[in-house]
Amino acid sequence: MPAIPSGALGALDPTSDRAVFRQIADQLRDAIDKGRFSEGDKLPSETELVEHYGVSRMTVRNSLSVLQGEGLVFSEHGKGVFVRPRPPVRRLASDRFARRHREQGKSAFTVEADAAGSHPTVDSLEIKEERPTQDIATRLGGPRRVLARHRRYLLDGRPVEFATSYLPLDIARGTQIAEPNPGPGGIYARLEELGHRLDHFEEEIRARMPAPHEVRSLRLAAGVPVIHLIRTAYDTEGRAVEVCDTVMAADAYVLAYQLPAT
């Protein structure tokens, strides 16, 4: 049996009021933060931790459950507990919708996947006309019906987000936007070809714990939250031409911003 690397973990403090399982979790967390266990590394087994700390197997399991609940580690049945990789995708808000990407035939997701060195795919695509929620209708100026594009995004086969774009029917009906493949540059390129030159985007972002169907769709491990983002695209006439409701796996993204100093 391989031993725990020398110096990777310390000893318990018998004088501490902190519960033993939390002391063990603290030491494992500190070892991860300091790089003693790197991304993707397997943590010491339950048996190794039991022997190292002289505690019960249930105490060790409680410690590992704390780290899983924090999203620091994940378990694979029959293999062990591993350090969760850091978010692979850097989502730079000030760049992802730049017109030059659309002119190069790239969507925002493709640009980010390329930067991360990952292969992007889309599945679970559904396109239909439907009645919007009151919130979506308000953001779009009150339409009774919209074109909705539902889809899920994957990187290297792993689901990382799902999104629904809502567009006014007077803009999208009968156009390539209503087709499974909207063409190079995605729906924003098609909107501009239809005369709706994009002027700016507004985004609202919040973090929360996922609903059960979101856990299934994104294959989320225990303790991993989601980022819920709603974006509204406006043309140069000030009209809202699209609302995109997106739910992202929080362990897959870094949200980056560049803000003016004035």
Instruction: Examine the domain organization and report whether 59 and 108 are in the same domain.
Output: no
pTM for the whole thing? 0.73
**Is 11 inside a domain boundary?**
no
Residues 47 and 169 in one domain: no
- Residue 3 pLDDT: 64
User: Is 150 in the same domain as 221?
Assistant: yes
97 and 76 in a common domain: no
What's the CA gap between 198 and 58, in Å, rounded? 57
Q: Where are the alpha helices (DSSP H) in the chain?
A: 20-33, 46-53, 57-69, 99-103, 108-116, 134-139, 169-172, 186-193, 212-218
Domain termination residue (choose one: 83, 105, 132) = 83
**Domain co-membership, 51 together with 121:** no
Sign of torsion, CA 231 235 236 237? Answer: negative
Domain-embedded: residue 73: yes
Longest dimension (CA), the chain: 73
Q: Round to whole Å and give the CA distance between 156 and 254.
A: 17
Same domain, 134 and 184: yes
Specify the pLDDT at position 260: 76
- Of 55, 83, 111, the domain-final residue: 83
The verdict on 153 and 94 lying in the same domain is yes
Quick: pLDDT tens for 131-163: 999 999 999 999 999 999 999 999 888 899 999
Least confident of 58-72, 125-139, 168-182: 58-72
103 pLDDT higher than 90: no
Last residue of a domain, one of 63, 83, 103: 83
Residue 4 lies in a domain: no
What angle separates helix 57-69 from helix 46-53, to the nearest 10 degrees? 120
Q: Would you say residue 3 lies in a domain?
A: no
- Burial level of 40, CB count in 10 A (0-12/13-18/19+)? exposed
The verdict on 121 and 232 lying in the same domain is: yes
- Number of domains the chain contains: 2
Q: Are residues 49 and 118 in the same domain?
A: no
Same domain, 56 and 160: no
> Among positive and negative, which fits the CA dihedral 139, 140, 146, 148?
negative
> In terms of domains, do 213 and 241 share one?
yes
Lowest mean pLDDT among 57-66, 107-116, 173-182: 107-116
User: What is the residue range of 34's domain?
Assistant: 20-83
* C-alpha to C-alpha distances, 113 to 109, 192, 256, nearest whole angstrom: 6, 23, 15
Q: Are residues 79 and 106 in the same domain?
A: no
